């Protein structure tokens, strides 16, 4: 079968394409014939159609990028993300969630029928049910300045800013599914287990890698970036044409073991 994923000649937008899961997804998209527009603050090495320097925590930068993107696209991939620490709690949520949400809201009307949105969340955000009221409160806040002010007023979130940013991504994905379905547009996210990326290198400057390995699946290893990029690309492909509103754990069964009480529920999932 030719073009089984349905990306040949399609215009797609991806953030965080300079490294890790985003780079893996971007390379796969190029390989299957997509016309890729990549947004990242760092240099993108994948041979994309256009790479646009973008600071996801800065509205003017995101607006400038949006102005350079096609008027119609097939898919959006939200892959940009940073750990806390070493990034500040505020910057972590602004990059991981506020910038991603702003870009998604702007690009959603440009997505053609049958297309989709696929984002990277995290197993660290799987405890969203226990924090749903606060997450929904923050989802009601739009705009960079307004979001920054809300976060500054909720400094208690600094303890787990990364997890909160991913809870927001998961809940937003679920809440947008119904409205987007009216236009035959899909939205999904994945929740990876620990993965060998530059992100992980930054995180383990402040944390012992053995502490992170507690959250690895029973195969005992960190995932490869491609093992996350591939399901992300699959979710926006025509092979998943009736799949929407899902948060897919990509964790080799870690969450399944927690849900069936075979492992301790360390993340409150």
CATH code for the domain in which residue 225 is found: 3.40.50.720
pLDDT in tens, 54-75: 999 999 999 999 999 999 999 9
74 in a structural domain = yes
Distance CA 196, CA 193 (A): 10
Work out whether strand 186-192 and strand 246-250 pair parallel, antiparallel, or are unpaired.
parallel
Whole-angstrom distance, CA of residue 233 vs CA of residue 222: 20
* pLDDT at residue 85 in the model: 86
For residue 21, the model assigns a pLDDT of: 96
For the chain, the 3-state helix, strand and coil shares in percent, each to the nearest 5, are 45, 15, 35
Mean predicted lDDT score pLDDT of the chain? 94
Nearest to 87 by CA among 176, 162, 172, 191: 162
Report whether pLDDT(158) > 90.
Answer: no
Residue 154's pLDDT band, with cuts at 50, 70 and 90, is very high
Give the pLDDT confidence score for residue 2 in this predicted structure. Answer: 85
Listed in sequence order, the residues at least 6 apart from 59 whose beta carbon sits closer than 8 Å to its beta carbon are 102, 143, 144, 145
Read off the pLDDT of residues 190-208 as tens digits, 9 standing for 90 and up. 999 988 866 666 665 666 6
Displacement of CA 87 from its chain's centroid (Å):
17
4 in any annotated domain: no
C-alpha to C-alpha distances, 133 to 163, 171, 188, 191, nearest whole angstrom: 15, 11, 21, 21
> Is the pLDDT at 90 greater than 70, yes or no?
yes
Q: Which uninterrupted H or E stretch holds 187?
A: strand 186-192
Counting residues of the chain whose pLDDT is more than 90, the rounded percentage is: 84
268 is a domain residue:
no
**Mean pLDDT of the 22-28 span:** 98
Q: Is residue 77 part of a domain?
A: yes
Tell me what pLDDT residue 208 has. Answer: 66
Identify the pLDDT of residue 159. Answer: 84
Domains held by the chain: number? 1
Percent of the chain with pLDDT over 70: 95
| Position 1 in a domain | no
User: 127: domain range?
Assistant: 11-259
Helical pair 226-235 and 20-31, crossing angle rounded to 10 deg: 60
What confidence tens digit (pLDDT) does each residue in 36-58 have? Answer: 999 999 999 999 999 999 999 99
Q: What is the pLDDT of residue 211?
A: 75
> Is the residue at 80 inside a domain?
yes
For residues 136-153, give the mean pLDDT: 96
Using pLDDT thresholds of 50, 70 and 90, give the confidence band for residue 24.
Answer: very high
Rounded to whole angstroms, how far apart are CA atoms 260 and 144? 40
pLDDT in tens, 202-260: 665 666 667 778 888 899 898 999 999 999 999 999 999 999 999 999 999 999 999 99
Q: Looking at the domain assignment, is residue 196 inside a domain?
A: yes
* Residue 92: closest CA among 189, 205, 197, 169: 169
Residue 82 reports pLDDT greater than 90 = yes
CA dihedral for 210, 198, 192, 163, sign (positive or negative): positive
Q: Is the pTM of this model over 0.85?
A: yes
In a domain, 3, yes or no: no
């Amino acid at each position: 079968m030719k073009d089984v994923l349905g990306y040949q000649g399609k215009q797609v937008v991806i953030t965080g394409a300079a490294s890790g899961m985003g780079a893996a997804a971007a390379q796969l998209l190029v390989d299957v014939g997509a016309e890729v527009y990549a947004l990242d603050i760092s240099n993108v090495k994948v041979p994309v159609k256009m790479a646009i320097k973008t600071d996801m925590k800065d509205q003017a930068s995101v607006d400038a990028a949006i102005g350079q993107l096609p008027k119609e696209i097939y898919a959006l991939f939200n892959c940009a993300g940073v750990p806390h620490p070493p990034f500040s709690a505020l910057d972590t949520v602004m990059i991981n969630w506020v910038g991603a949400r702003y870009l998604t809201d702007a690009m959603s009307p440009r997505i053609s029928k049958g297309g989709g949105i696929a984002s990277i969340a995290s197993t660290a955000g799987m405890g969203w049910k226990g924090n749903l009221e606060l997450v929904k409160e923050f989802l009601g806040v739009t705009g960079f300045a307004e979001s920054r002010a809300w976060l500054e007023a909720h400094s208690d979130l600094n303890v787990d800013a990364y997890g909160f940013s991913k809870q927001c991504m998961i809940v937003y994905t679920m809440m947008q599914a119904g409205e987007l379905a009216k236009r035959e547009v899909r939205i999904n996210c994945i929740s990876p287990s620990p993965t060998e990326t530059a992100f992980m290198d930054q995180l383990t400057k402040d944390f012992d890698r053995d502490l992170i390995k507690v959250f690895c699946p029973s195969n005992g290893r960190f995932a490869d970036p491609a093992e996350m990029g591939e399901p992300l690309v699959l979710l926006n492909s025509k092979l998943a044409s009736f799949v929407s509103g899902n948060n897919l754990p990509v964790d080799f069964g870690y969450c399944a073991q927690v849900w069936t009480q075979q492992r301790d529920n360390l993340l409150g999932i």
